[in-house]
Amino acid sequence: MAYLFTSESVSEGHPDKIADQISDALIDNFLAWDPDSRVAIETLVTTGQVVLAGEVKSRIYLDVQKITRSVIQKIGYTKSEYMFEANSCGVLSAIHEQSADINQGVDRTAKEDQGAGDQGIMFGYANNETENYMPLALDLSHRLLFELSELRRENNEINYLRPDAKSQVTLEYSDDHKPLRIDTIVISTQHDDFAEEASMLAKITEDIKAILIPRVKAQLKPELQALFNDDIKYHINPTGKFVIGGPHGDTGLTGRKIIVDTYGGKGAHGGGAFSGKDPSKVDRSAAYATRHIAKNLVAAGVADEILVQISYAIGVKDPMGIYVNTYGTSKVSLSDAEIATKIGEIFDMTPYGIETRLGLRNPIYAETAAYGHMGRTPQTITKEFENSTGEKKTLTVDLFTWEKLDFVDKIKASFGI
């Protein structure tokens, strides 16, 4: 019997995502000037106010207020009527030094002996529904909001958009887990107040259907374009009005959108947030590493769908264990347990091994903090940083290294594919 599955996304202007972006911008600035920094920063945003809290061990001092305001400015909170504006909001810092008890469990004389920065379980997932090996419902949810943000910045075809937005896509699947059609699309987008309120919802609905949807559809392969049909149920701003939004409408906190950040409810999630944490925190680095493994395994043809779990104890470098579930889609003559054993042979899963393999001590995290950490396109960019004394530094970094298909050949050789 066919079934429905739903995923959601939120825009860069959503309060929780503002918090994530601020936390990750601070991570990047610490790592740019001191790659050995240990950082865990949480951010809270509300009406006219930002609160920063957390622990840092670093050789650099930063102007955290300036960095925070630059993030808010870039997102688009630049008008006083938003009740949260980059230049006028208060920024309170309660950041203090990292606990020596935690630090002694991580730092070692030999870097390769570095212990895990915390205990926990982390999951990586991949399937072959999309070209980026991500679940389709989440991929579409992200695309809708990314294009909506592009339209807002263009301020051309649609000129009333504000930064806060959410999306949701429901797909119908066949018995053999193949997407058949899009059942429902939900878009809630913040907007300016309309002079004629009666026409407001009709105008927004028309623009979403006539402008946004075709732009997203044009990005997809023909077989995915075919999932769009005249029977899709649309819920556009279903409350009828969305003028009050952003941190004035809802308080935002770092780490409250972990399902949006990962796989949209497919696979599994260990529970730990990513943003605001340096890579010694395996909540982040091991989640990236397991995604890298799962994606390369699917791309190599080991299975159509794979979940990889890993677990750690704080201060211990070697993982407690690796678990694999191929959901009955394996194409090799090995059990899931045997596949897990091979993963341990191919990939160094110590914290130092992960950091080194994926280049995680570089300032690469601000770009992860909106529209998902997984399924993104690897790219090399140049970034500029400024410290509290005005000194500037330019760095060239590789983004989304965990999305590279750089282990496919090695996996094929190991599995005899």
> Where in the chain is CATH 3.30.300.10?
3-9+136-245, 16-113, 120-128+279-415
Q: Is 166 annotated as a binding residue?
A: yes
Q: Mean pLDDT throughout 50-59?
A: 96
Q: Is 300 annotated as a binding residue?
A: no
* Structure confidence at residue 100 as a pLDDT band (50, 70, 90): low
Q: Mean pLDDT throughout 186-197?
A: 91
- Flag whether pLDDT at 283 surpasses 60: yes
**Cα–Cα distance between 264 and 9 in angstroms, integer?**
8
Q: Is 291 annotated as a binding residue?
A: no
Q: Is 304 annotated as a binding residue?
A: no
Q: What is the pLDDT of residue 274?
A: 97
Whole-number average pLDDT of the chain: 95
Q: Is 111 annotated as a binding residue?
A: no
* Structure confidence at residue 341 as a pLDDT band (50, 70, 90): very high
- Flag whether pLDDT at 104 surpasses 60: no
Q: Is 345 annotated as a binding residue?
A: no
Q: Is 129 annotated as a binding residue?
A: no
Matching CATH number, 120-128+279-415, of 3.30.300.10, 3.40.50.2020, 1.10.10.10, 3.10.20.30: 3.30.300.10
Segment 214-238, tens digit of pLDDT:
999 999 999 999 999 999 999 999 9
Q: Is 256 annotated as a binding residue?
A: yes
Q: Is 206 annotated as a binding residue?
A: no
Q: What is the pLDDT of residue 248?
A: 98
Cα angle at 210 between 207 and 214, to 5 degrees? 125
Q: Is 42 annotated as a binding residue?
A: yes
Q: What is the pLDDT of residue 157?
A: 93
Q: Is 392 annotated as a binding residue?
A: no
Segment 348-380, tens digit of pLDDT:
999 999 999 999 999 999 999 999 999 999 999
Q: What is the pLDDT of residue 81?
A: 95
Segment 107-148, tens digit of pLDDT:
655 677 687 878 899 999 999 999 999 999 999 999 999 999
- Flag whether pLDDT at 284 surpasses 90: yes
- Flag whether pLDDT at 184 surpasses 80: yes
- Flag whether pLDDT at 312 surpasses 70: yes
Q: Within its chain, how far is the Cα of 32 from the centroid?
A: 21
Q: Is 398 annotated as a binding residue?
A: no
Q: Is 277 annotated as a binding residue?
A: yes
- Class of the 3-9+136-245 domain? alpha beta
pTM for this prediction: 0.96
CATH topology of domain 16-113: GMP Synthetase; Chain A, domain 3 (3.30.300)
Q: Is 14 annotated as a binding residue?
A: yes
- Flag whether pLDDT at 198 surpasses 80: no
Q: What is the pLDDT of residue 152?
A: 98
Q: Is 16 annotated as a binding residue?
A: yes
Q: What is the pLDDT of residue 97?
A: 83
Q: Mean pLDDT throughout 165-187?
A: 97
